[in-house]
């Protein structure tokens, strides 16, 4: 059952954005590793894997609906940041952006009465709510410690302990 070309194009753009987000998280993970903040690094790797999983789900859905996946060009992600706060602010901004993009896709699916695509997107809405809440909490905690090395290490250690079972 083929879908509307406008929806297919929008889903393709989103698949590219999910891949770009994954590369951003991988870049952040490397930056954190080089700063000795292994918990933050590990958290970013898990998030990168999650974004790749999202991209794969979009890939499969587009193909299942009779369209070929076409990735757009992606900019290289940044590799330097001024502080842990600037990285976490970028993470939070990215999650807010992805939520907005998913919401736009839902509106597009509704405008074409594409119930299958709307249903497909519903799981992403809930995941984005969780991702935004997690990045907002991390941002609030980073602001509390205000680049204090002991505070950053404590947060990093908590992230490492919490996500340790998630990484393959």
What sections of the chain are H helices per DSSP? 5-34, 38-64, 84-111, 115-145, 149-163
pLDDT score of 139 more than 90: yes
Residue 105 within any structural domain of the chain: yes
Residue 168 within any structural domain of the chain: no
Give the span between the Cα atoms of 117 and 163, in whole angstroms. Answer: 31
- Residue 116 makes CB contacts below 8 A (sequence gap 6+) with 1, 3, 65
Residue 18 confidence (pLDDT):
96
pLDDT digit string, tens, across residues 76-119: 999 999 999 999 999 999 999 999 999 999 999 999 999 999 99
Residue 148 within any structural domain of the chain: yes
Domain residues for 105?
5-163
Structure token digits, residue 76? 């290289």
Report the CATH number that the domain containing residue 126 is assigned in CATH. 1.20.1260.10
Q: How many domains does the chain have?
A: 1
pLDDT score of 67 more than 70: yes
Q: Is the dihedral of CA 84, 86, 88, 94 positive or negative?
A: negative
State the pTM of this model: 0.91
Residue 160 pLDDT level (bands cut at 50, 70, 90): confident
> Mean pLDDT over all residues of the chain?
92
Residue 29 within any structural domain of the chain: yes
pLDDT score of 1 more than 60: yes
Q: How many percent of the chain have pLDDT more than 70? A: 95
Residue 164 pLDDT level (bands cut at 50, 70, 90): very low
Residue 162 confidence (pLDDT):
65
Residue 17 confidence (pLDDT):
96
CB of 31 closer than 8 Å to CB of 156: no
Instruction: State mean pLDDT over 20-32.
Output: 97
CB of 156 closer than 8 Å to CB of 148: no
Phi, psi of 82 (to 5 degrees): -80, -25
């Amino acid at each position: 059952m083929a879908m509307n070309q406008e929806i297919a194009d929008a889903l393709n753009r989103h698949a590219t954005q999910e891949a770009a987000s994954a590369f951003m998280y991988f870049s952040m993970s490397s930056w954190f590793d080089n700063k000795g903040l292994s918990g933050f690094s590990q958290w970013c790797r898990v998030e990168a894997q999650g974004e790749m999983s999202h991209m794969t789900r979009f890939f499969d859905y587009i193909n299942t609906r009779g369209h070929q996946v076409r990735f757009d060009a992606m900019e290289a992600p940044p590799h330097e940041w001024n502080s842990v706060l600037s990285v976490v602010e970028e993470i939070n901004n990215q999650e807010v952006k992805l939520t907005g993009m998913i919401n736009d896709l839902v509106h597009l699916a509704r405008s074409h009465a594409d119930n299958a695509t709307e249903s497909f997107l519903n799981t992403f809405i809930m995941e984005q709510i969780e991702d935004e809440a997690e990045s907002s909490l991390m941002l609030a905690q980073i602001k509390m410690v205000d680049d204090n090395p002991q505070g950053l290490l404590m947060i990093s250690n908590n992230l490492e302990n919490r996500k340790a079972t998630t990484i393959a």
